[in-house]
Structure 1
């Protein structure tokens, strides 16, 4: 908190830093009721029409040893997750010197290893207060470029993005997504496409590898409480985890060093992942909001595709861009700027053969995340 306050003061006091604290009751991984404290730094947006739109980025500052309930053993947590926490703090310090239309929230959360406690509390409070969290990025284990077999892979980062969530009861919006073949067009997948495009544009020779999964196989992180409440949320993680340096007591066995120690962190690699975050967050917070109420005509049998949407409110809006791709493609392949209108007909492009999206564009060329159209039946 002190370091973030120092950065905020150097930036003219525009970074508001506070503790988000509450009492977590005892549970399977928490023998006693414990105060959980998140450190939250907020950089308020400067555009009246955009300041209530939030983008959240997090790392967790707790760590663990081999035994999850061992509160006495050394657990340095250099990669998991001092790397993510350091990235978030540096992002806050750098970005506080600049102005953005939308609001950025930088969080160092607690209790991830014991059950995603801190992030769950913040996400639930956001949900109860109807906050407009337009996107969330968590950085968890972003500090090593070395695989367990010694290979060095410093040229990419994994970005986990959920498609259709595993819910007992499916709401209408998800049912519509499946009915129209949009399993790969969830809000999180749209956010991931945007982060990949911007990250690779501004960080040279670095790949943002979208993994079409909520997280690593049957594992979790601090983005999951946001996903559970309907927010678009993603996870950054290094390409190859070395489990000798994760969730391990510090020890040497047969000449092999175990433990999550600073000596195994690649600081330049961590910085590159932080730069991807920074580029993506800046782009998101400068761009207009993703268009709302995007719909596709589904009345007539025709080979053209007609799209409608609600006009954005931003005063610096230039217009809209329609993007499309073949149904087998993971990323947008084509784009057309269509002007400051709320309807567009893509002539000769059948909705049977392509997926479509609509993006908002401002006068500086900043482009929003794409919105996937729902069917419009008159």
Structure 2
């Protein structure tokens, strides 16, 4: 049964995704739904260039090794040369958009770790595209600069790291080229993170930098291996992408966990709703790309550079190929028993990398174009015939058209129903019992851009 809301004696039916308001309703006569799609996102989805991505991957491979412990003074070999080249590429992109990117290094010295025994400066490169309305709200796309072979401490042997992870780094550069041609309400960070193979230190350092500077990062899209389509299982797949996300917030308090036991939210962390947002963007704006949401922080027993952000409460997901080829990951370059090992250009499919870069770009653009996220979202309705959502409107909401409320059965993996409700701060779902559904709310811009869905309470707070 569809829920109804009674206003001014009129019963209005809420249906999925589209709002129809009867002419006899006086309480909401002035509510006009924004566009249901942002037309520029179709162009953005087609813009990433496979050739440019291929060239960038090749350039990174040509540095020989990008191991965190490798050469830093050479201009042609090692991680020092690689990060300086990335910095210069971001600056080149910035010069083409009138200085729209602020390009910075973020670094710290790590030592005494199992994979970094001696003092080593771990340096990441960030390019920041400031928003015009809400510049302190960020969404980030990251790739990893570093590479490795079999021995995690071997910083001298050739370590091409073509797919792992020159592909993700090339994707971040290409996304910057595409999106720097547009202006957004919020800010975008394009990041090259270091130290991933040595213990996720680049992400940890950048997350600490973000918190210290008060950056409101609402989502991290960690791209790690986005150019391989041939799996070790024999499957070739260029039309599916995996998106990994944690189910509950890593930093929730014992009291928040206790509350979640009674109200729900085990599968509605900000990261999980970010993953749902990535999928919804793909479904709307892309063709021939299926998003496989994986309800897991990362691959079984493994890690990625979104994890240090999740650890401190910043939402983040991992975007990557669906079928991995383990002979091409963390391997010395060699041949054994007729098998070729090593992460070389032969394992790169640049068309697939361009497709996954496009997925990132439309997600970044959608979130950066959206208004500020609804604050302090709460749900109520225990032992009542109706569920109620309340929320607050933050400042810097000049592009806000209003809010969209969402609901789904508790067993549904994605949000199935929604309606636009205008510039209000509460909504009651008459005759929809709160016990049987999950609820959320998103903010919608005047051009139709919207935030991911915010689940009520601490469990879902971005």
Alignment TM-score, normalising by the size of structure 2: 0.78
Is 1:8 the counterpart of 2:94? The answer is yes
Give the whole-Å Cα distance in 2 for the aligned partners of 1:316 and 1:161. Answer: 29
Give the whole-Å Cα distance in 2 for the aligned partners of 1:266 and 1:175. Answer: 46
Is 1:39 the counterpart of 2:122? The answer is no
Q: Deviations over 1:295-343 (max 9, x none)?
A: 1224x62121111111243122111111000011010010111121111
In the other structure, the counterpart of 1:336 is 419
The structure-2 alpha-carbon separation of the partners of 1:137 and 1:178, relative to structure 1 and needing over 3 Å to count, comes to farther
Is 1:253 the counterpart of 2:353? The answer is no
In the other structure, the counterpart of 1:63 is 147
Is 1:214 the counterpart of 2:273? The answer is no
Give the whole-Å Cα distance in 2 for the aligned partners of 1:11 and 1:362. Answer: 24
Shift of 1:103: 0.6
> Which of 277, 280, 283 matches 2:360?
277
Residues 26 and 34 in structure 1, CA contact (< 8 A), matched pair in contact too: no
Shift of 1:14: 0.7
Residues 249 and 313 in structure 2, CA contact (< 8 A), matched pair in contact too: no
The structure-2 alpha-carbon separation of the partners of 1:172 and 1:202, relative to structure 1 and needing over 3 Å to count, comes to same
In the other structure, the counterpart of 1:182 is 265
Q: How does 1:72-111 map to 2 (within 5 A)?
A: 72-111=156-195
In the other structure, the counterpart of 2:383 is 301
**Farther off after superposition, 241-250 or 12-21:** 12-21
The structure-2 alpha-carbon separation of the partners of 1:328 and 1:55, relative to structure 1 and needing over 3 Å to count, comes to same
Shift of 1:56: 1.2
Give the whole-Å Cα distance in 2 for the aligned partners of 1:371 and 1:73. Answer: 47
Residues 200 and 276 in structure 1, CA contact (< 8 A), matched pair in contact too: no
Moved over 3 A (4+): 169-175
Shift of 1:102: 0.5
**Farther off after superposition, 338-347 or 16-25:** 16-25
Give the whole-Å Cα distance in 2 for the aligned partners of 1:281 and 1:199. Answer: 12
Shift of 1:172: 3.2
Residues 101 and 128 in structure 2, CA contact (< 8 A), matched pair in contact too: yes
In the other structure, the counterpart of 1:24 is 110
Shift of 1:179: 2.3
Residues 199 and 277 in structure 1, CA contact (< 8 A), matched pair in contact too: no
Give the whole-Å Cα distance in 1 for the aligned partners of 2:372 and 2:426. Answer: 17
In the other structure, the counterpart of 1:137 is 221
Give the whole-Å Cα distance in 2 for the aligned partners of 1:135 and 1:232. Answer: 5
Give the count of matched residue pairs: 371
- Unaligned 5+ segments in structure 1 are none
In the other structure, the counterpart of 1:53 is 137
Residues 244 and 259 in structure 1, CA contact (< 8 A), matched pair in contact too: yes
Q: Identify the structure with bigger relative contact order (alpha carbons < 8 Å, sequence gap 6+).
A: 2
Residues 93 and 177 in structure 2, CA contact (< 8 A), matched pair in contact too: yes
Q: How does 1:305-324 map to 2 (within 5 A)?
A: 305-313=387-395, 314-324=397-407
Residues 249 and 269 in structure 2, CA contact (< 8 A), matched pair in contact too: no
Give the whole-Å Cα distance in 2 for the aligned partners of 1:213 and 1:249. Answer: 29
Give the whole-Å Cα distance in 2 for the aligned partners of 1:38 and 1:46. Answer: 25
